[in-house]
C-alpha cells in the first residue's frame, strides 16, 4: 500500500503542474512550493530550535493559534514554524506575526519529507485537527520527534476505521498523543488500539472567548447602527444571499443589515447591490456617505468580520445553504446573540450541538428564514434567551488550550 501511495503522490504532483496552467488557485499551490526549501535555508540558522505547527488551511490555523501564541510566550528561545497545505490559508496568513516562519508544506513524498526535516530539525511537531501525511509522519517517527495531534475530530466513516485502512492506521500510530474534540473521537481511536488520547475539546472555543476581551470598536459600525437593531450576515455565498436579499427587502424599516459576502469582488458586489431594494452602501465608499442614513452596508473587505459581529443583535453565518461548507458560527455565538444557518451543517460538531440546544437556528428555505427572523425581531425575550444559550456554550467548553499546553510544556 505504501508503494501505491507514493506512486499516486508523484502522479498527483505531475498533474497539478499541468492543471496550474489553467487554474489560478492550483497555480498558487504549485508555485508557492517551488522555493520552500531555499527559503527555509536562508531563514533558519544552525542553532535555531524549531517547534513546527502544521495547519491545512485558515480554519485550522485559527484553531492552532491560541496554542501557538501560548507556546511562543512561554518559550521565547524557540522559533515557531507554521506550514499550510492550502493556498487560501497561506495567502491570507503569510504575513502573520504569530509565527517566525510561515510557508507551504511540500508534497508528501519521501524525498520531500526527509529534506524538509533535515533543514528544519524540529524539536516538536504539532498537527492541527487533521492532515495525516504518511511520509512526513513516518520520517518524524524514525527521527524520534514527538508529534502531537490537537483539536482532532474523527468519524466512523473515515479510512482509519475500515477493515482495509491498515496503511492509514499505521500513520496514526506515529503520534505521541491525541487531543480530541469529543468522546466519540476518543472511542473510535480506542477501538483501533490507540489509548494515548485526551478529550480536551476544541481550541477554537478558547480562541473565540479571547475575542470578548479585545477592543472590538468600529467607528463606522457605531455610526451605521445608530442605536437600532442590527442583523449581520457573515461569509455568505450566493445560495445564502438569494434568501437574505428577499428577507432584507421585506424587513421592517428600523432594522439595519451588514452583509459580509465570502466573495468581495466588484462584480459580485454589484450583483448583490442590484438584488437589494433598500438604501445600500459599500464599506469601501463609506467615507462619501452619511452611514446612519443607510439600511444596508456591504462589507467589501476582509479582516473585520469578527468585530462587526460585536454590533449584531442577530447573526447569519453562510456556507450551510449550499455545499461549500458552513463557516465559523462560534465567532458570533461568543457575543451572546442568536445565530441562523442553512440546512447543511451535519459535519460540524458545534453546529449540531447548538442547534439541539436552540442557540443556533437552521433554516432550509426563504419562508422559514423570514419566520425565524420575524420571531427574533418581535420577541426580545426570545432573542436574548437564544443568544444566552450560545454564550454559555462557549464559556462551558473552553479550556482545551490549558490541557494541550500543559502536555507540550513537559515535552519541551
Q: CA–CA separation, 237 vs 235, rounded Å?
A: 7
**Contacts of 108 by beta carbon, 8 Å cutoff, 6+ apart:** 9, 133, 134, 135, 136
Which residues, listed in sequence order, are joined to residue 143 by a DSSP beta bridge?
none
Report the catalytic residues: 60
Q: Which of 353, 351, 403 is nearest to 151 (CA)?
A: 403
**C-alpha count within 13 angstroms, C-beta hemisphere, residue 378:** 8
Chain CA centroid to CA 93, Å: 12
Q: CA–CA separation, 159 vs 221, rounded Å?
A: 47
Place of cell 468522546: 183
H/E segment holding residue 123: none
Q: What are phi and psi of 258, to 5 degrees?
A: -115, 120
H/E segment holding residue 350: helix 349-357
In whole angstroms, how large is the CA radius of gyration of the chain? 23
For residue 272, what are the CA distances in angstroms to 56, 262, 341, 381? 31, 12, 19, 32
Q: CA–CA separation, 159 vs 147, rounded Å?
A: 21
Amino acid at each position: 500500500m505504501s508503494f501505491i501511495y507514493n506512486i499516486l503522490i508523484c502522479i498527483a504532483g505531475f498533474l497539478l503542474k499541468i492543471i496550474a496552467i489553467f487554474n489560478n488557485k492550483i497555480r498558487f499551490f504549485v508555485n508557492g512550493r517551488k522555493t520552500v526549501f531555499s527559503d527555509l535555508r536562508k531563514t533558519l540558522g544552525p542553532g535555531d530550535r524549531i517547534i513546527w505547527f502544521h495547519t491545512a488551511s485558515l480554519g485550522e490555523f485559527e484553531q492552532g493559534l491560541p496554542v501557538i501564541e501560548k507556546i511562543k510566550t512561554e518559550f521565547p528561545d524557540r522559533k515557531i514554524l507554521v506550514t499550510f497545505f492550502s493556498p487560501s490559508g497561506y495567502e491570507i496568513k503569510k504575513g502573520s506575526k504569530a509565527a517566525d516562519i510561515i510557508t507551504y508544506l511540500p508534497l508528501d513524498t519521501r524525498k520531500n519529507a526527509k529534506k524538509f526535516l533535515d533543514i528544519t530539525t524540529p524539536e516538536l511537531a504539532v498537527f492541527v485537527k487533521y492532515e495525516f501525511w504518511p511520509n512526513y509522519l513516518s520520517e518524524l517517527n524514525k527521527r524520534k520527534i514527538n508529534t502531537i495531534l490537537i483539536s482532532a475530530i474523527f468519524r466512523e466513516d473515515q479510512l482509519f476505521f475500515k477493515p482495509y485502512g491498515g496503511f492509514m492506521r499505521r500513520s496514526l500510530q506515529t503520534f505521541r498523543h491525541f487531543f480530541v474534540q469529543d468522546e466519540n473521537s476518543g472511542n473510535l481511536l480506542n477501538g483501533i488500539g490507540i489509548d494515548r488520547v485526551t478529550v480536551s475539546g476544541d481550541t477554537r472555543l478558547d480562541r473565540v472567548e479571547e475575542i470578548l476581551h479585545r477592543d472590538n470598536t468600529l467607528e463606522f459600525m457605531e455610526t451605521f447602527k445608530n442605536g437600532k437593531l442590527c442583523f449581520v450576515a457573515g461569509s455568505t455565498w450566493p445560495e445564502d444571499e438569494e434568501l437574505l436579499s428577499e428577507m432584507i427587502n421585506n424587513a421592517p424599516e428600523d432594522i439595519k443589515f451588514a452583509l459580509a459576502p465570502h466573495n468581495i469582488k466588484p462584480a459580485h458586489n454589484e450583483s448583490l447591490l442590484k438584488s437589494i431594494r433598500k438604501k445600500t452602501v459599500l464599506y469601501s465608499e463609506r467615507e462619501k456617505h452619511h452611514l446612519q442614513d443607510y439600511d444596508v452596508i456591504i462589507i467589501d473587505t476582509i479582516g473585520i468580520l469578527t468585530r462587526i459581529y460585536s454590533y449584531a443583535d442577530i447573526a447569519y453565518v453562510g456556507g450551510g445553504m449550499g455545499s461549500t461548507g458552513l463557516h465559523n458560527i462560534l465567532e458570533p455565538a461568543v457575543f451572546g446573540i442568536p445565530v441562523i444557518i442553512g440546512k447543511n451543517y451535519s459535519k460540524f460538531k458545534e453546529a449540531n450541538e447548538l442547534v439541539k440546544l436552540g442557540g443556533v437556528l437552521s433554516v432550509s428555505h426563504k419562508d422559514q428564514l423570514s419566520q425565524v427572523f420575524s420571531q427574533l425581531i418581535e420577541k426580545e425575550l426570545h432573542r436574548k434567551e437564544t443568544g444566552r444559550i450560545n454564550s454559555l456554550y462557549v464559556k462551558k467548553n473552553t479550556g482545551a488550550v490549558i490541557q494541550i499546553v500543559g502536555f507540550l510544556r513537559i515535552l519541551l
